[in-house]
Amino acid sequence: MNSLVRSTAVRLALGYAALFVVSSLVLVGFLWWRTADYLDREIDAVIVADAQAISDRLRDFGLPGAIETIADRVSHAGDEHSIYLLTDPALHRVAGNLEAWPLQVGSTPGWYEIELVRAGKVHATRGLFAVLPGGFRLLVGRDIQDRVEVRTLILHGLAWASLGALGLAILGGLLLRRSVLHRVEAINRTASAIVRGDFSQRVPVQGSSDEFDRLARTINSMLERIEHLVDRVRGASNAVAHDLRTPLAELRARLEDIARARPPGEAVHEEIEKAVADIDRVIGIFNALLRLAEIDSGLRRSAFRRVDLAEIVGQVSEIYEPLAEEKGIVIAAEIPSGAAVDGDADLIAQAIGNLLDNAIKYAPPNSRVSLQIASGDEGRLAIEVADHGPGIGDSERARVTEPFYRGDRSAGTEGTGLGLSVVEAVARLHGGALEFRDNKPGLIAVLTLPGAGARDGAETDPLRVIRPMATPPVSAP
């Protein structure tokens, strides 16, 4: 019983039943009140007219005239609901269809509702007591027992209807509870499996597109996101341990060699420079991991503003021109004006810089890297970076954004395997996407972001000067 009382479905059904009963009582009560008021006014008007007629006959023709009028109304009116009684000042019966003055009628003239026994039955009666000239007492009334019985029938009907509504509400609540509990239990089983560590479980969807299906899809999306993050954390932990072990082992070996061999000063300085390079590599890995954690946390959304995407792309391409010139690579930039997005300018610059750094790194010498902004569907903007390098195989494209993943074609190339992870995180933070296409030969990396024009047409904020890569680009695979 306690479980039924605590059930939301049963409580909702009982609440609706109570609302139905109360609204029915209010409606029927209002209708009955208006009807009873109308009948009372009609009955009162008839009673007053009869009393006035008898009073006029008494005044005009004396007591015989009043007696004659009462006798005529009792014998010829044919109204069995009429009550007439005329008495002297001592309340002795003079005329009428009552044998004695009712005890329930007081000594004060006015309206009374009394109960009279007629034909062996008690009848509710509404009457008017008036004092006529000469001290005569007149009681004129109407039997209203029918109205009382109708009111009783209505009340009994409402009572039975209320009990029926309550029973149907309980039955409906039980059926609803069974249906709701079935869906809730499915969600509960999935959540319990997730708590036990099985992140592959999903809430079943029935395909009805009702509220539970929409909730299930939302929960499944959340679970997929959680599973993805947990896998990334697991992979990152293993990769960090693996990637840090090599530079730390090399650093320790160099320091041991210096301590054991005690080489001359110049050699010591060379070893120290190599050790510093190893430490910088470790610091770079940690900086990249911190940047990924900061992006995934969503804290950088507070820095979102309207920024000129063309200006960001132009400044980033200028920064990488010297690096490209060292390999004889030409950066061909097609940057239309007026392309704006709402986002964090530093993160967008970081993402574009990582894509351009990868393209220059893997492009063959004396080749060309193209950088352009294209318009997409629904007001989206696509930043495309294309090169003619080895590209990324179809089987690897789904994994290159995993932290520390380095494909077979990255062997012998400097990098930590975090560059594309940062780009993908920046795209996700801005509601965009990162995809790869075949350039035949080479690779086209496309960073898609929602254009600022797709949002309300708000006024453009003043452009912020983009610092020349506040944090160095993170090398990708």
Domain ranges of the chain: 2-153, 211-293, 302-454
What pLDDT was estimated at residue 110?
A: 92
- What pLDDT digit, counting tens, does each position of 366-403 carry? 888 988 888 877 778 888 999 988 888 777 777 777 77
What pLDDT was estimated at residue 48?
A: 92
Which is nearest to 384 in space by CA: 392, 393, 376?
A: 376
What pLDDT was estimated at residue 471?
A: 39
Q: What six digits make up the tokens of 188?
A: 């509960």
DSSP-assigned beta bridge partners for residue 342 = 306
- What pLDDT digit, counting tens, does each position of 56-96 carry? 998 888 889 989 888 888 886 555 678 889 999 988 999 98
Element (H, E) at 117: strand 110-118
Superfamily of domain 2-153: PAS domain (3.30.450.20)
Q: Rounded to whole angstroms, how far apart are CA atoms 58 and 96?
A: 14
What pLDDT was estimated at residue 300?
A: 62
Residue type (1 letter), 309: L
At what angle are helices 345-362 and 309-326 packed, to 10 degrees? Answer: 30
DSSP-assigned beta bridge partners for residue 128 = 111, 140
DSSP-assigned beta bridge partners for residue 308 = 340
Q: Rounded to whole angstroms, how far apart are CA atoms 186 and 211?
A: 14
DSSP-assigned beta bridge partners for residue 110 = 129
- Burial environment of residue 262 by CB neighbours within 10 A (0 to 12, 13 to 18, 19 or more): exposed
Q: What six digits make up the tokens of 435?
A: 């995809």
Q: Rounded to whole angstroms, how far apart are CA atoms 171 and 173?
A: 5
One DSSP character per residue, 378-414 reads GGEEEEEEE--S----TTTTTTTTSTT---GGGTT--
End-to-end Cα distance, the chain: 63
For 476, phi then psi, to 5°, come to: -95, 180
Pairing of strands 110-118, 121-131: antiparallel
Element (H, E) at 331: strand 330-334
Cβ distance 404 to 455 under 8 Å? no
Cβ distance 339 to 310 under 8 Å? yes
Cis previous bond, 89, omega within 30: no
Pairing of strands 340-343, 368-375: unpaired
Cα–chain center distance at 202: 21
Opening angle at CA 323, ends 318 and 327, nearest 5: 130
Cβ distance 46 to 140 under 8 Å? no
- Burial environment of residue 141 by CB neighbours within 10 A (0 to 12, 13 to 18, 19 or more): buried
Q: What six digits make up the tokens of 309?
A: 């995407």
The CATH number, out of the four listed (3.30.70.3270, 3.30.565.10, 3.30.830.10, 3.30.390.30), of the domain defined by the range 302-454: 3.30.565.10
Pairing of strands 330-334, 340-343: unpaired
Q: Rounded to whole angstroms, how far apart are CA atoms 282 and 13?
A: 63
Q: Spell out the per-residue pLDDT of the chain, length 477, in tens.
A: 555 556 666 677 777 777 777 887 788 778 878 888 888 888 889 889 989 999 999 888 888 998 988 888 888 655 567 888 999 998 899 998 888 889 888 889 999 988 887 767 788 888 999 999 888 999 998 888 887 888 788 888 878 887 887 787 777 777 776 777 777 778 888 888 888 878 788 888 887 777 778 888 888 888 888 887 777 677 666 666 666 676 777 778 878 877 787 777 777 777 787 778 778 777 776 776 676 666 766 666 666 788 888 888 888 888 888 888 888 988 888 777 778 888 888 888 888 888 898 888 888 888 889 888 888 777 788 889 999 888 887 777 777 777 766 665 555 566 666 778 888 888 888 888 888 888 888 889 999 888 875 544 433 333 333 333 333 444 444
CATH 1.10.287.130 fits 211-293, yes or no: yes
- Burial environment of residue 76 by CB neighbours within 10 A (0 to 12, 13 to 18, 19 or more): exposed
For the chain, what's the residue count?
A: 477
Which is nearest to 149 in space by CA: 127, 123, 126, 128?
A: 123
